[in-house]
Structures are given as structure tokens and as C-alpha cells.
Structure 1
Amino acid sequence: MTAVHNFQIPKHLNALSPAEYRGKSREDVRLLVLDRLNGTRFHAHFNQLQDYLMPGDLLVINNSRTIPAVLTGKYKNNTIEVRLSRQVSEQEWDAVILGNTLAIGSTLTFPGDMSAVVISDGSELPLVTLSFSKSGLDLLNHIYRIGLPIHYEYIDYPWPLDTYQTAFASVPGSVEMPSAGRALSWKMLNNLKEQGIDFGFLQLHTGLSYYGENMWPHPEKHPESYCIPLKTAQQIAKTKENGGRVIAVGTTVVRALETAANEDGTVKPQSGLTSLYIKKDYQLTVVDGLLTGFHEPEASHLDLLTAFIEENHLIKAYSNALDQGYLWHEFGDMNLVLNMNGFY
């Protein structure tokens, strides 16, 4: 564990509920702005985001839609909980079976006359690959009927699936919300558009960020599927040509764009899987800035952040965020990391 991972989140800084259930709007969370060059910090609110952007900038947003990825079923006479992680085929998913190690060939049953067989190990332990008795849209519809959204131990209430969706989520496939876009609204995006700040969309379907029992995914063994549309690739090319900045809304967008980028920063429309691990000294080729939440000390997302800003600046910023009472996790506050040259 490097120094940037060496901190603890006090319990009172866990965002336990969505902003809209705290009597606020989604936009009414805090925003910590970091200058990539020197680590200078600005404390603001998310609805002031436009004050830190410039005409010609492009926000690239993940419009993947969260599915209810927690399935409760039976193995023999025992109740088991399955957490889906990644769709492998029309009827196969990598998943974690909580608290159980089941042999290949084991059969699980679920409500609504559906079953699944453990057919192999998954992309990394403790994942296994399940083959379901349903496939395609039939399987997806059944998951929506019987599943619940994933929530971790810092959340003590089962918030509805809608609270785990962004305003523009349209392509089902993420098992956890691409939470960096949660505070954005269509109204806010349209206001940015009027100020010459464009936005575009891609999809990266997020896998599990935590396997349980103090096990965390390794990015190189944790493939995620992505799709970059032609329009978005064209928007990126136009932004670069005109000297604007490409700002990723979320680490998922960084991973997708940097996977798809050529050495000169050109992005072509494409779909595929990415196992890209972005960390310190990685040379970003297309993404100029990042809008993200605050990440757990165990998360590889912090390694990705060190590709944007020097580690000592990030350590000081996170220490400051803890002192200032910023909230963590998917319902928490936001962090913008961007070259602020000329802003002050």
C-alpha cells in the first residue's frame, strides 16, 4: 500500500443517504477542485461547476444503467446471495457467491423458475462464472424482477434502484452506479451547453468494486465492457482540434477513453473489453481532467488519480477533504482534477 492509500474514513463522513433524501437536490453536494499542476485547492459546491470550466471544454459521461445485481437464491437447502459482476455472454455472468465456495457443477436455484450452474472460475478469485437457464433479454428482465441493487456495509438502508441511476442512464449493464455522474442533471448540462461547454456519452459497464472479506478487484484481472459511439469520438476530435479540454466524468470514462486512444490522442468509435490499469507515471493521451467522487483507501481508483496529479498533492487534498468534512462514497461529494492555468 502506497502513501496515497494510507488514510481512514471516519464513520461520520460516510454518505449514508442520497442528497435528495437529505432535503437537498442531487446538485447540492460539495465540490473540491484541484489544480493538476500545483495542487491548489478550491472549495465550492457542485452547482458551481461551470465556474471552473471554459467554453470549448467537453464533458464525457458514462450513460450505463445500473441493474439490480444482488440475487437471492438457494443451494440445496441453504439461502445464498449472488452478486453479479460482469456479463460474459447472453446467459453467463461472472459473480461472487457470498460466504460460499461452490464446486464447478453446483446448481443454484432462484425465484421464478430460474437456475444457474457454476461452470468455471471467473476472471479472478473469488469470482465464478455462472450459466443461467435464461438468456438475453429474458435473463435481464428476470434479474430486474428478482434482484436488488448492491449496497455495502456503510449503507444501512436498502435505497431503491432509482437512487443508483444517473439522470441519463440508458444502457443497462453496470452492477454498480457510475456514480461520478450522479450529481449532474439535464438542466445543468443544458446550462453548460449554453455557455459553450459540450457533453457526450459512452458506456462502460462497471463491475464489482469490492468482493467482500477484504478482497478488492485488480484492474488487470477485472475486464469491463465499453462502447464509444461515433458521435462522441467526433466530439473529442473537434475539442482537441480547437484546443479544448476533454474532461472525464468518472474513472470509468478515463479507462474507456485511454483504452481506445491512439498514441496521438485520437479516439475511434469502438466496442470491446478493457483491463487497463492506470497508475502513477501512466501517460494520459486523451483525457485532460477528471470529475470523480472520493475513493476508499483500498480502491485502485486512487492509483488512477496519481496519473492526473502528483501523489503528494493528492495526499494533501484528501487530508484536507477529511478535515473539511467532505462525504465519501456514491452518495457523497465530488472532486474535480483539472489544469486551472489561467483561472487565477
Structure 2
Amino acid sequence: MLAPTIKFEVPDILNAAVPPERRGVRRDHVRMLILGRKSGVTQHDRFNRLEDYLKKGDLLVLNASRTVPAVLYASLNREGNRNSDETEVRLARKLDDSTWECLIVAEDLTEGDLLAFSTTLFGTVSKVNANSPFATVSFSLSGPLLFDQIYELGEPVRYEYIKNDWPLDYYQTVYGNIPGSVEMASAGRAFTWEILFKLQKKGVKIAFIHLHTGLTYLLDDKWHQSPEQNEEAYHISEEAARMINETKTAGGRVIAVGTTVVRALETAVDPSGQLEKSSGWTNLYIHPEYDLKIADGLITGFHEPEASHLDMLSAFIDPGYLHNAYQEAIERKYLWHEFGDINLIL
């Protein structure tokens, strides 16, 4: 359960609806609130000065999953009859090269329903679960050919506070390489190659993992997913595991860029505290009583009241400190969400 002290209200004006670049701010010049894990002391800076808060021997772990335009539209055909010309289909998670779980905005969805996305891409509803918002869709294409069509036809997932149809590039990190996330792994958005090179020059190491984020924006209030129901695919390479283990052994700090990275790392740690090369699915729920094994610090955005992300943050820092810092962020008009500002917890 979320600690009861973490209750706050974010004024609508602090929901960042516009990418910083469209506000006249470089993506790496967003504001940054630095929060001390042990002291609760706050400092205020800009993200482009991140190197001032990291030390030689520290290791940053970034999620290199690339965002896919997960909102598609199709005509829905049932028993030979066209039921809808523009049915919204939101990709939720990839099951294999030609199969995805999807949120399909349609009444009385039936197994066998056909979806026509274009003259070359079709889908069949192969499974409907009455206890889940998601249906399984088998596509007519697979692998790169399917992704080509998704990128050609799709739009990024857009939350209710975002009024403009911003291009997909605004929902990408500069280092994302393998497509798979249906919602942006947004904690890394502020990074530029310039900052990464500066950090490496200082002696801060960089490791990349992948966790493909699932769909959490479900449109309908009747559906609520607990963290344990949100299964996401991840991959930690042998090289990344080695770098992380060596950093821990040498006494350096492992700093996760995003809650997705924390989730993957803590899933792949063995009972002795060593990180293993690992691929699979994680539904790990990290809560205030969770004993973190790998992550020593966190770079993240600002999260909504009573979000499960705040449970994870409370594993890093006393909930009272976190509550005070969030109240201060509101007073100082920090911006929330993927186009907003950054919180560094060390």
C-alpha cells in the first residue's frame, strides 16, 4: 500500500502538455530537483548540470527501448459484416513477432473479429478475456514488416492533458534502439549525447538494458491494473550485468534512469546480490518495504498522486521526505509527466 503521507494535488497548469523544445527549452535544460535519500535535503538545478552530482566510478543504467506509435485505427468486420470503419486499437504488449495484446475500443468484442488496418495489414482477434481490458490480436505480418506498418500507420499514446498531436520523435529518447515500448520510458528523455559524453569523460560509466513498457493508459475507469498485473518484457545483456556487478563490488553507485530500469534490475538479481544476464517478463511490485538490491539512486520524472511509481520511490527514500519534496516541487512550479522536469534521488 502507498504510504498515507504521500498525498498531494498537482494543479492542472503543472501538467506539461508541451515538449520543452516547443517551449523554447532544450530537452537537456529542463529543471532538476535533487533529493538526498538519507537527509531529505533538496537542491534545485538544471538537468544539463547532472555531472556535478555524479562521481567517477558511478554507473548510469538507461532503458534503450524505443517507443512505438501504439494507437492504430482499423475497420472491424464480424461474420462478414463491417461493424465499424474506425475502431481504435491500442497496442499493449508484444507476445511474439506477429501477436500483441491490445486494447480494442469496441463493444461486445468477439473472438474471430477481423481488423483491417490497411490494404496490407490485417488482424484477427484470437482471444478475448472478460476479466481483462486486453484482447489478443494475431497480425497478418510479423517482425520488421509488422513494425514497418505500425510506424507508418500508428500514432503515439497521448494522455488527456496533451492537446496537440506531437510527432513521435518527441516521445523518443536519443539512445533508444530496439522498438517495443508503447508508452515512452520518459525518465531518459532529457539526456542528450552531449551530456552522456560529458559524464563518460568524468568517469561515469553508462550501461543499457531494455524494458518494453506496457500500456497503462486504459481510457476506461472500470479497468484498473495493479503493478503485479502489468507484465513487461525485459532484457539485460551479459555486458550490462558485468558492468553493474563490477560497479557494486568497487563501491560505486548504480543509478537507474527510470522506474522501468529499477524494475528490470531488481527482477534479475540473484539471492547473493549479483545481477544475472536475463530475459523474460517482470511483474515485480516495488513498495516502501522492499529492500533494494541493485539501484542506489534514481533519475525519474514527477509522478501523479497515489501512483504505484510513488510506492517504488518510497523504497528509495522515507515517504515523509518524498512528500515534502513533492510539495516543494509544486510550490516552485516544477512540471509533471513525460514532457516535464526531472527528480534525481541520491
> TM over 0.5, yes or no?
yes
- Trace 1:253-264 onto structure 2 (pairs within 5 A): 253-264=261-272
SS at match of 1:199: strand
> Is the 8 Å Cα contact of residues 263 and 285 (structure 1) preserved in structure 2?
no
Q: Could you tell me which runs of 5 or more consecutive residues in structure 2 were left unpaired when the two chains were aligned.
A: 77-81
Answer yes or no: is 1:37 the counterpart of 2:45.
no
| Worse-matched range after superposition: 76-85 or 245-254 | 76-85
Which residue in the other structure is 2:67 paired with? 66
Cα shift at 1:134: 1.6
Which residue in the other structure is 2:330 paired with? 322
- Trace 1:17-36 onto structure 2 (pairs within 5 A): 17-36=18-37
Cα distance in 2 between the residues matched to 1:99 and 1:154: 23
Query: Deviation string for 1:193-239 (max 9, x for gaps)?
Result: 11111111000001112211234432211111111111111111111
> Is the 8 Å Cα contact of residues 66 and 164 (structure 1) preserved in structure 2?
yes
Cα distance in 2 between the residues matched to 1:285 and 1:121: 38
> Is the 8 Å Cα contact of residues 6 and 319 (structure 2) preserved in structure 1?
no
Cα shift at 1:38: 2.5
Cα distance in 2 between the residues matched to 1:313 and 1:107: 52
- Superposed CA RMSD in Å reads 1.6
> Is the 8 Å Cα contact of residues 91 and 134 (structure 1) preserved in structure 2?
yes
Which residue in the other structure is 2:226 paired with? 218
Which residue in the other structure is 2:252 paired with? 244
Cα distance in 1 between the residues matched to 2:152 and 2:57: 43
Cα shift at 1:114: 2.2
Which residue in the other structure is 1:10 paired with? 11
**TM-score, reference length from structure 2:** 0.94
Alignment counterpart, residue 127 of structure 1, candidates 115, 130, 134:
134
Cα shift at 1:290: 0.6
Cα distance in 2 between the residues matched to 1:155 and 1:322: 19
> Is the 8 Å Cα contact of residues 246 and 289 (structure 1) preserved in structure 2?
yes
| Alignment length (residue pairs) | 338
Q: CA 1:199–1:125 in structure 2 vs 1: closer, same or farther (change >3 Å)?
A: same
Cα shift at 1:298: 4.5
Cα distance in 1 between the residues matched to 2:328 and 2:7: 14
Cα distance in 2 between the residues matched to 1:207 and 1:298: 19
Cα distance in 2 between the residues matched to 1:232 and 1:41: 31
| Worse-matched range after superposition: 261-270 or 60-69 | 261-270
Q: CA 1:274–1:174 in structure 2 vs 1: closer, same or farther (change >3 Å)?
A: same
Cα shift at 1:101: 4.3
Q: Could you tell me which runs of 5 or more consecutive residues in structure 1 were left unpaired when the two chains were aligned.
A: 339-344
SS at match of 1:143: helix
State percent identity of aligned pairs.
Answer: 49
Cα shift at 1:261: 0.6
Which residue in the other structure is 1:342 paired with? none
Answer yes or no: is 1:140 the counterpart of 2:147.
yes
- Trace 1:1-344 onto structure 2 (pairs within 5 A): 2=2, 3=4, 6-75=7-76, 76-78=82-84, 79-98=86-105, 100-121=107-128, 125-214=132-221, 215-338=223-346
Cα distance in 2 between the residues matched to 1:46 and 1:288: 19
Cα shift at 1:170: 0.4
